[in-house]
């Protein structure tokens, strides 16, 4: 088929992952969760005792990272050195350290290189989600979208996702702090030129997916 890269950026709790996966299924495209790559690198650095604040060492770890990641929207799988870490990378200890990795430019460049390689391998037929896909990884994507939601909606969704065991304050601190740290290197709070904003604050999951598919349909 013709190239169809659907680039979707957004903050945590915007519903980005579930929406992106469903869009990929409906369009029969491959799917790449770039956040999972940053999480896998964080897991690897913690595992091997790398100092997260030492940029040169983190960059080397990124280059060495023996990463395997599923590109099917129907099968979530992330492994490092053959160890399945699909579940582990969602742990709070990873979420709270990932921004330190993501703000290391050398590590970013290596992961961006791998992301572009994966897009090439899938003949540019892929939904790619993250924070810098519309602006850096795939600025020439056929479709570029920023999925946003109000802070209230994002906190509510993250809370449900984590099982509702955390206090509102704890959640807010985690989600908002991570976004604040991340936005020092990637701008995912405002849409870049040519990027369509999809505000999902008042939409349910189905409505958000339908709106995203309408945006795609207008272009293809
Ligand atoms: O999407 P998710 O919340 O799993 O992303 C985890 C982290 O990975 C983000 O908080 C951010 O630090 C980093 N990230 C990034 N650029 C991307 C995707 C994720 O910096 N394209």
| 219 assigned to some structural domain | no
Q: For 46-67, how does the pLDDT look when each residue is reduced to its tens digit (9 = 90+)?
A: 999 999 999 999 999 999 999 9
Q: Tell me, what CATH number does 23's domain have?
A: 3.40.50.300
Q: How high is the mean pLDDT of the chain?
A: 93
Spatial contact of 85 and 92, defined as CB atoms under 8 Å apart:
no
Lowest mean pLDDT among 13-22, 156-165, 174-183: 156-165
The DSSP bridge partners found for residue 129 are: 8, 33
- The closest of 17, 83, 70, 92 to 44, measured between CA atoms, is 83
pLDDT of residue 58: 98
**Closest C-alpha residue for ligand 1 atom 16:** 131
What average pLDDT score do residues 91-103 get?
Answer: 94
Say if ligand 1 is within 6 A of residue 13 CB. Answer: no
User: How confident is the model over 39-50, as a mean pLDDT?
Assistant: 98
Beginning with the edge strand found earlier in the chain, give each strand of the sheet holding 67-69 in spatial order: 67-69, 78-80, 83-84
pLDDT at 176 over 90: no
ipTM for this prediction: 0.99
Q: Please give the annotated binding residues, written as ranges.
A: 10-18
Closest atom of ligand 1 relative to the 99 alpha carbon: 12
The rounded Å distance from CA 131 to ligand 1 centre is 6
Distance (angstroms) between ligand 1 centre and the Cα of 86 equals 15
Do the domain assignments include residue 146? yes
Domain that holds residue 109: 4-210
Question: Looking at residue 180, what is its pLDDT?
Answer: 86
Q: Which residue has its alpha carbon closest to ligand 1 atom 19?
A: 35
**Cα of 219 from ligand 1 centre, angstroms:** 27
H or E element that contains 169: helix 168-182
- Report if residue 218 sits inside a domain: no
pTM of this prediction exceeds 0.90:
yes
Give the count of domains, the chain: 1
| Contacts with 100 (C-beta within 8 Å, 6 or more apart), sequence order | 42, 52, 53, 181
3-state secondary structure of 130: strand
Residue 112 within a domain: yes
């Amino acid at each position: 088929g013709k190239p169809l890269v659907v680039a979707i950026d957004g903050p945590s709790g915007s519903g980005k992952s579930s929406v992106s996966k469903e869009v990929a299924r409906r369009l029969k495209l491959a799917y790449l969760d770039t956040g999972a790559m940053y999480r896998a690198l964080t897991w690897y650095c913690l595992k091997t005792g790398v100092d997260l604040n030492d940029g040169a060492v983190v960059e080397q770890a990124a280059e060495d990272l023996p990463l395997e990641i599923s590109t099917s929207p129907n099968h979530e799988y992330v492994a490092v050195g053959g160890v399945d870490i699909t579940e582990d990378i969602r742990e709070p200890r990873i979420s709270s350290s990932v921004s330190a990795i993501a703000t290391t430019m050398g590590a970013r460049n290596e992961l961006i290189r791998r992301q572009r390689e994966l897009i090439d391998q899938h003949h540019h037929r892929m939904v790619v989600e993250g924070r810098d896909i519309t602006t850096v990884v795939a600025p020439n994507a056929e479709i570029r979208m920023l999925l946003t939601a109000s802070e209230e909606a994002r906190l509510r969704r993250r809370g449900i996702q984590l099982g509702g065991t955390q206090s509102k304050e704890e959640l807010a601190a985690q989600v908002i702090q991570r976004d604040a740290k991340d936005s020092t290197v990637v701008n995912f709070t405002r849409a870049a030129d040519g990027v369509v904003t999809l505000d999902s604050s008042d939409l349910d999951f189905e409505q958000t997916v339908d709106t995203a598919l309408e945006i795609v349909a207008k272009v293809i």
